[in-house]
Structure 1
Amino acid sequence: MNQNNGERNGALAIIGCCIAIFWPGALTFGFPGVMASLWQEMFHVGSGATGSTIFFMLSAVGIFMFLAGRWQERYGIRRMIILGILLTSIGCILAAFANSITMVYAWAFLNGAASCFVYIPALTLVQQWYPQRKGLVSGTVSMVFGLAAAIMSPVFGLMLNAFGYRNMSLVLAVLTLTAGLLGAYFARERDDETIKRQNEMRDALKRQIREGNEIDKDEQRRPLTVSETLHTRSFWFLWTTWILAGAAGVSMTVLSTGYGLSLGLPLEGAVLILTAFNLTNGTGRLASGYFSDRLGRRRVMSLAFLAAGLAYFLFPLAGDLPTSAILAAVVGLSFGTLFSVSAPLVADCFGLDHFGAIFGLTFAAYGFLAGPLGPTLSGYLLDLNGGNFIPIFLYLGAFSLLAALSIRQVVSPERR
């Protein structure tokens, strides 16, 4: 492969990953927030029940992110993306025919699993193509993943009014399948001589280690295995960060529209708070990824989490749409930073060889604990205290501040 073809295929791989991840992102971050009030009306349930939708989605993420990372090493990146797209489209069909909140939970679980098979392979692929710009390229993919919901949240409302719930969901199934398969076609893995040389160097290093030979300091920074990673202090601080910052960030996807309605805004206005959150959740990923390449991963993440904590503490003072939208946008920037910068931070600390599996394990914290501590607990607290958002905003703000402290403890371990 010559250099020009390599650059072209690398650019096409990024474009393909972005196309493939668009609809999973829109459905993950936008669909539950827009549909929550409709589901409450359709199935006669409260905020706690609709908040549990995110719990089921994140539980699937916790289970399947690691498996997606493992399976892509065996079956290939493109096959995993195609599988994820097929499952996302099937999930839309399931949502279309939901006749109870239980079926909505089934959709949420399937959609969460499907997103794993697109997101992890996409992040792995773009970092393989551009190892010197991991923050920028992973931030680009993460940007599309989050920005899709900012674009589609108001469109979902328009589609709902135009087509009705069932027909809208079926249209989304077709759009997801068409765009996703097109993106998967362009998402081609590297097969050039550079990758071959990297694999040869890695194998030679492993042989030296087995034989007990002396190796240079730079060579000591070999990729860690999954088992070795689990024995590092840094992994568990990163895991804790995902619990705290993940809970604080993902809660806004279900709180924003409800908070807007509590201010007396119409649904179209309340959705704009969710749109502001998703706008920075998307666009901020590119910026935070870019700056993390230059200013450092931990510094960028710590500052973003600190800003989110302050925004949550100020939310009880927000009484209008502009102020609420600005504060939601700050939380969205923090949430996007968690996604975009964590990926290159994992690659920096533990290497790219087992990136998918290791990064998937960090999602176990997000999937199993961030959901219950964030959207689920928030929803039930709202039901218990008559819709008072102040206690929820205060404890989510504290989560963000603790995440800012936790991420500072994540450093690259010795790799001997």
Structure 2
Amino acid sequence: MVLYGSGGPLTKVVIYSVSAAPRPFNGWRIVGAAFTVLFVVYGVQFSFGTFVGDVVEDTGWSETRLQLIFAIYIGLYSAMSAVTGWLTDRWGPRPVVASGAILLTGGYLLWATANSLVVVAIGMVIVAPLGMSCSWVPCNATVVRWFVVRRGFATAIATSGGSLANIVVPPIAALLVGTYGWRTAIISMSIFGGGCMLLSSLVLERDPETVGQLPDGAQTSPSDSTENAIAGVSPAAAWRTIAYWQIFGVYALTFLAVFVPFVHGVQFAQSLGASLQTASTVISAIGIGGLIGRLVMGWVSDRIGRKSAVILALSLETASFIGMAFSNGLWLLYPSAVAFGFSYGGGVVVFPPLVADLFGRAHAGAIVGRIFATAGAMAAIGPYAAQLLHDALGGYRWAFLLSGLANGCALLIATRLPRVSKQQ
């Protein structure tokens, strides 16, 4: 525009600068999608104990063989998680989780429509483990890429989906079984869960840089980023350390027993006189404890240290198994289930930060995946062994006592873990 004054015309140029508004950070959408995936897959998985009694009564199939099929399913999906984590690094989470949705749904549908144990085995030993392996590791591997400063908090929220499923889904499964039968219950839950998993996969992105963003929603990338400068021990070098095998021993022993309450909790409560609907709430009690444990123990471990947090979790888990072993009514079983859920959930949340503390962040995903694929496969043994003990001795007391013993041994190993200073 032109202004006129005593000295003649004055020219003033006004320049307007318009910058694009910052895009909303997608990281919390990723957390929400991961939460949803873990909610539906673990909701169906932890309802196994609700289904199995009616399956045996309706078909005459051996409960021991069904427990063996479920044990193999757990072991295989744990082992295959190392592969799906590797695929997530290369292809991104979207095709991996989407494929998992189709496979997991297909596996459960084969079980629900089967007329022989052979078909059940095909669905739950071959197809379903492939699908289930596309959940926990791919989702958590994706979440940690989207966050640096708030990584622990984001991971805790995402993984709490599985614990919330323990609270909500088993009673729904029991209601569906009681109203429509076990086949309709599994078909409806697997289709609904597979659809939610498939839709959630569309939200997942490998990392924020893929969509022009930065971790934690930062607007600028610092020139001296701590995350960029982080070094770490390679998986091969970590494998040669005592600390690696100590962590492996801790989690192999605790994973050995971890699915025993999930698989046998409903039947144990029924043996104490509870109805199926009431007995299914034992799994919900575990879920309540697990939800609180996941959200609390990550925060606690930041303050008292990972080693102390692991020792605390394992001490409580050992006590919870002893409480279950001596339960003669729901008055002791419920608090024991809540304590187990809290300690199990808290111990799992501390696991990845413990690895990062001892070996650095650069290769933490690969090291966590390797330990999960091997130690996690131990979880297949516990439920089947518990069924054999039940058949031989007519009760669950020794199964719970031996589970407590396994956690006590894990606790002893945990006391030998190196303590990492906060400065390190």
1:113 maps to which of 114, 119, 130? 130
Deviates more, 1:120-129 or 1:47-56: 47-56
Q: Check whether the contact 1:250–1:335 (CA below 8 A) recurs between aligned residues.
A: no
Counterpart for residue 403 of structure 1: 410
**1:375 paired to 2:391:** no
Q: Out of 156, 162, 175, which is 2:179 matched to?
A: 162
**What does residue 241 of structure 1 align with?**
250
> In the alignment, does 2:288 pair up with 1:279?
yes
Q: Name 2:272's counterpart in structure 1.
A: 263
Q: Which of 84, 105, 112 pairs up with 1:89?
A: 105
The 8 Å contact of residues 147 and 279 in structure 1, kept in 2 or not, is answered as yes
Compared CA separation, residues 305 and 113, structure 1 to 2 (3 A): farther
For normalisation by structure 2, the TM-score amounts to: 0.84
Aligned ranges 1:1-400 → 2 under 5 Å:
5=23, 8-28=25-45, 30-109=46-125, 110-188=127-205, 189-191=207-209, 192=212, 194=214, 222-372=231-381, 374-385=382-393, 387-400=394-407
CA RMSD of aligned residues (A): 2.9
Cα 1:144–1:94 change in 2 (3 A) is same
Q: Secondary structure at the match of 2:193?
A: helix
Instruction: State how far apart, in whole Å, the 2-side matches of 1:43 and 1:49 are.
Output: 13
Q: Deviations over 1:28-78 (max 9, x none)?
A: 2x2211112123223434543333233112221232111112111111122
How many residues matched? 395
Contact 1:51/1:378, CA 8 A, preserved across alignment: no
Deviation at 1:193, TM superposition (A): 6.8
Q: Please tell me whether the aligned partners of residues 114 and 120 of structure 2 are also in contact (alpha carbons under 8 angstroms).
A: yes
- How far apart, in 2, do the equivalents of 1:241 and 1:383 lie? 29
Gaps in structure 1 of 5+ consecutive residues? 206-218
Higher RCO structure, 1 or 2 (CA under 8 Å, sep 6+)? 1
Quick one: distance in 2 between partners of 1:3 and 1:359? 38
State the AA in 2 paired with 1:381. Answer: L
- Supply the distance in 2 between the matched residues of 1:399 and 1:2 (Cα, whole angstroms): 58
Contact 2:325/2:398 (8 A) holds in 1: no
Q: Secondary structure at the match of 1:5?
A: coil
- Per the TM alignment, residue 194 of structure 1 is displaced from its structure 2 partner at its CA by 4.9
Q: Give me the whole-angstrom Cα distance separating, in 1, the residues matched to 2:26 and 2:419.
A: 31
Q: Is the deviation greater in 78-87 or in 249-258?
A: 78-87
Structure number with larger C-alpha Rg: 2
In 2, are the aligned partners of 1:70 and 1:356 still within 8 Å (CA)?
no
Structure 2's unaligned 5+ residue stretches are 1-18
* Residue 200 (structure 1) shift: 11
Contact 2:352 2:368 in 1 (8 A): yes
Contact 2:51 2:182 in 1 (8 A): no
Matched AA of 2:231: R
Within 2, Cα distance between the matches of 1:178 and 1:360?
26
Look up the match of 1:212: none
Check 1:13–1:44 CA distance in 2 against 1; reply closer, same or farther (3 A cut): same
